[in-house]
Homo-oligomer: A and B are copies of this chain.
């Protein structure tokens, strides 16, 4: 029998995620599985909760990694919070805002999705007007829009939402571990992320946090949450320390990896980690601009960890990505939706967010340019 894993290449992951993983995290993940009811595993769960609170900037008791990917985090946010008939305002400027609207509508929410041009941030003044015009139960937004590389002004929006009393859901899939996430400071009620971006852990887990106010709402729902797997009232008991109640079997080895990935960040110091992302980004900008490449997003709203780079009209974008992957073993990502064919997305996330790797990618792209002229 032929084992296909043996022919897998070692790829430098400089795309929209997953990002490359540190050797220490691979090593952690391959430690011997222990029982999910083993006291030493419970002690590990407690520390993961504590570390996630620190990293997410929150005192929320209910802060856990869900046993699913970042998309499961989005699902969990809405399925726990939405009661059919609730009015939800989705602030959309990319793929993931769009997805939020789909998720919420399936759950019986009355969704008003308002769009801003992809590549630009959600406009705070517009949000103010929207919230003055109509009353909403929930407002949701993406902090770091993976499809465009835009950082949305989530704190300013949070101030406005808090005044209305609506619940505030923030997606931090591509921000957590790369730029500061400050759940309490933003007045967010629900915030979720993914393991495979700036945390540099393989994909499969979704850190999530719920404010006390959000949990009170969930606990006072008339009917049970229509999703047993992601019901936070059950998951809270499962992650509840010594008094825990069996729910599902946690993905033990993935949680080893998450523990180690967060350990690495804390060990380096979060501020150093954020500074390293900025330094890598600055290098990428300098190097790419040196041969005429331009960025989609205005400087003020650019994510250091996700760079939307405009592909010159005489360059074959797909050919560029293919040559990077097949000849140089570097993955960068394509544009999505209206940006398909127009941009490439270069990730500088977690383990790969260094000026050296940023320069290497830029240099390699420069080297390829002649080959991929239309």
Contacts and interface: CB of A to CB of B under 8 A. Distances in A.
B31 A106 contact: no
Interface string A99-143: 100110111100000000000000000000000000000000000
A248 B71 contact: yes
A374 interface: no
A240 interface: no
A202 interface: yes
Nearest to A24: B3
A249 B196 contact: yes
A38 B333 CA distance: 10
A44 B6 CA distance: 11
Nearest to A249: B203
Contacts of A55: none
A202 B225 CA distance: 28
Interface in A291-330: 325
A183 to B, nearest CB: 22
A29 B28 CA distance: 11
A254 interface: yes
Contact of A106 (B27, B103, B228, B263): B228
Chain A interface residue count: which class? 35 or more
A246 B325 CA distance: 19
A26 B256 CA distance: 13
B251 A33 contact: no
A67 interface: yes
A147 to B, nearest CB: 10
A18 to B, nearest CB: 5
Given A9-B34, A251-B202, A102 B29 contact: no
A228 B99 contact: yes
11 contacts: A1-B266, A8-B44, A13-B34, A29-B29, A30-B30, A33-B196, A33-B203, A68-B229, A74-B229, A227-B227, A246-B336
Interface of A: 1, 3-5, 7-11, 13, 15, 17-18, 20-21, 26-38, 40, 43-44, 47, 67-72, 74-75, 79, 99, 102-103, 105-108, 194, 196, 202-204, 223-230, 246-254, 256-257, 259-260, 263, 266-267, 325, 331, 333, 336
Given A5-B44, A18-B35, A29-B30, 11 more contacts: A3-B260, A8-B34, A21-B32, A33-B203, A34-B331, A67-B69, A67-B204, A68-B68, A106-B227, A202-B251, A254-B254
